[in-house]
Structure 1
Amino acid sequence: MKYLVTGATGHLGQQVVADLGARVGAASITAAVHTPAKAAGLAAQGIHVAACDYRDVAMMTRAFTGQDVVVYIPSKTYDVLQRITEFENSLQALKQAGVPAVVFVSFYADQEHNPFVMAPYYGYAPRRLASSGLNYAVIKNALYADPLVPYLPELIERKALIYPVGNQAMSFITSADSAKAIATLATRPELLNQGQTYTLTQTQSLTMPALGQIMTTVTGHEIGYAPVTTQEFGRIYAAEGDGAELASMYAAGAMGLLDQVTTDFQTITGSEPKSMADFLTRRYQPTQQ
């Protein structure tokens, strides 16, 4: 069996490649990347590296040809039309290459009335896959827990979380657990060839006071909850380039649209996902302050 992972030099892609490598061996994996020079480390491990540009159907077709499973990790653009165009190009290449099975990596903020700016794309892609004639499965990630770790020093200084979600809960998953589930799914044909949809979450969603209490216990610093408005949140993080986009996502959270909890991780892997308390305890280093 041959496995190809798109976006293989990204944060999630690297972890998926590593997890797949541990399962099937480097020689069975192709890392599809926009800039092959950045994948020298993967090539050194015996992983095949292929150039892959979501704007170039012919290039993707060459990369996908001969693969048994393609794990499709989208680009990170917040431009909905660009993301859809990239996806349509990829579907065309997958069909031309005759790929037997596809694992589409998605996000759980896809409801029809979700105000997150990328919700239209996440709603469109599964429906488009359903009409594509491809064998596929969709795996939706909850919010990544990982960004909370570098965020802790700021939260310690603020003494509070400020996410504008009110009394609503949100679900999380670690990127390591996401990668584990994606790699496992790719190697289990019976779970990925009938349009199945899986949503990866920890075993419980968390209100912001509950998340703050976990952070307080882990760091030894009081972290409460003092939400700002959605507009203020966007202004605070505007300089980082995605303040408005993140604000729209938390607006969805305030509507109770980001609190789903499933057992899909256990269904795929046979194990429990890492809890928020365990994850932060293992990852937090006081020297980060």
Structure 2
Amino acid sequence: MTKYMVTGATGHLGQKVVTQLRKLTGIKNIRLGVHTPAKAIHLKNAGYELAAIDYRQVATMTKAFQGVDVLIYIPSITYNVQDRINEFENSLTAMKQAGVCNLVDVSFIADQPNNPFQMAGYYAYLPARLASSGFQYAVIKNSLYADPLIPYLPELIERHNVIYPVGDQAMSFISRADSAEAIANVAVKPYLRNHGQNYLLTMEQNYNMVELARLMTAATGKQIGYSPVTLQKFADIYRAEGDGDELASMYRAAAMGLMDKVTNDFRHITGHAPQNMGDFLKQNYQRTK
């Protein structure tokens, strides 16, 4: 019996990975890494095995990783590169001490050496670090999540425009549900995860902002155009929410053409196409009404 562990199991992506993994391997083979077990009591009541983890404490994670065969590593949410690297290094140390040999690492499209996104240094470091780690592993990079577009739509309807400061460049997207399906499939299939593979999950096409605005118009029935603001203006608008500068650095990368790559990796992993943006927006916008 193979034991799988998912870190960040109560997060937006983690919950969906757990659901997909359960379909493929059964609940008894899954352990959930959670930072606050008291907040995950519903998962314990549902039959899941819980383990407390703290990325800053090797001893805690070593205990949590005992008996695990495959670790699905979903990192914490932070915009501090050094903190993220330290957390990952602690996790690798705990894996070695616990005897975990197989890793599925969740990463992001922004890993080019010239990418100005604030967290690009972490994503660029991952594949080289793992290549020398001695583990059997695969890196799964997500493109931009489509999911945050849904709660963003009322603001865009009010503005009458998409305002992303990316000019005429396109961006690639994937839904969290599709990402989770691919991650779970890689985790349970050794031939997909044991040879240092580096996947990028995207829809079958990317979208420039004119295309995206037209799809939003079709999904909502409200006219949405494209009128980009400057990077500085975008950062100023969303700084109060805590991530304005970080998001602006990501869209700076997009404006450089660094966030538009498209692959067939999702189809290769799952055997079918990912959901396209038009269908995703229509389906999920209707659910919010």
Query: TM bucket by the smaller chain?
Result: over 0.9
Aligned residue in 2 for 1:46:
47
1:165–1:227 Cα contact (<8 Å) kept: yes
Q: What is the deviation of 1:287?
A: 6.3
**For 1:123 and 1:253, how far apart are their aligned partners in 2?**
16
Count of residue pairs the alignment pairs up: 288
Structure 1 residue runs of 4 or more that deviate by more than 4 Å after TM superposition: none
Confirm whether residue 244 of structure 1 aligns to residue 213 of structure 2. Answer: no
Structure 1 287/145 Cα, relative in aligned 2: closer, same or farther at 3 Å? closer
**For 2:265 and 2:116, how far apart are their aligned partners in 1?**
25
Aligned residue in 1 for 2:101:
100
Letter in 2 for 1:282: Q
Aligned residue in 2 for 1:151:
152
Aligned residue in 2 for 1:230:
231
Q: SS of the counterpart of 1:137? A: strand
Aligned residue in 1 for 2:191:
190
Aligned residue in 2 for 1:263:
264
**Cα deviations by residue, 1:228-275 (Å, 9 ceiling, x for unpaired):** 011110000001000000000000000000001000000111111000
1:219–1:286 Cα contact (<8 Å) kept: no
Aligned residue in 2 for 1:136:
137
**For 2:230 and 2:287, how far apart are their aligned partners in 1?**
30
Equivalence map 1:166-181=2 (5 Å): 166-181=167-182
Letter in 1 for 2:81: V
Aligned residue in 2 for 1:91:
92
RMSD (Å), alpha carbons:
0.9
Aligned residue in 2 for 1:214:
215
**Cα deviations by residue, 1:80-135 (Å, 9 ceiling, x for unpaired):** 11111001100101111111210000001010000000000000112111111111
**For 2:97 and 2:8, how far apart are their aligned partners in 1?**
20
**For 2:287 and 2:275, how far apart are their aligned partners in 1?**
21
Aligned residue in 2 for 1:273:
274
1:115–1:252 Cα contact (<8 Å) kept: yes
**For 2:72 and 2:170, how far apart are their aligned partners in 1?**
30
**For 1:19 and 1:37, how far apart are their aligned partners in 2?**
23
**For 1:46 and 1:287, how far apart are their aligned partners in 2?**
30
1:172–1:205 Cα contact (<8 Å) kept: yes
Aligned residue in 2 for 1:20:
21
Letter in 2 for 1:210: E
Q: What is the deviation of 1:39?
A: 1.2
TM-score, scaled relative to structure 2: 0.98
Q: What is the deviation of 1:286?
A: 8.4
Aligned residue in 2 for 1:282:
283
Q: SS of the counterpart of 1:257? A: coil
Q: What is the deviation of 1:77?
A: 0.6
**Cα deviations by residue, 1:190-220 (Å, 9 ceiling, x for unpaired):** 1101110000000000000000000111111
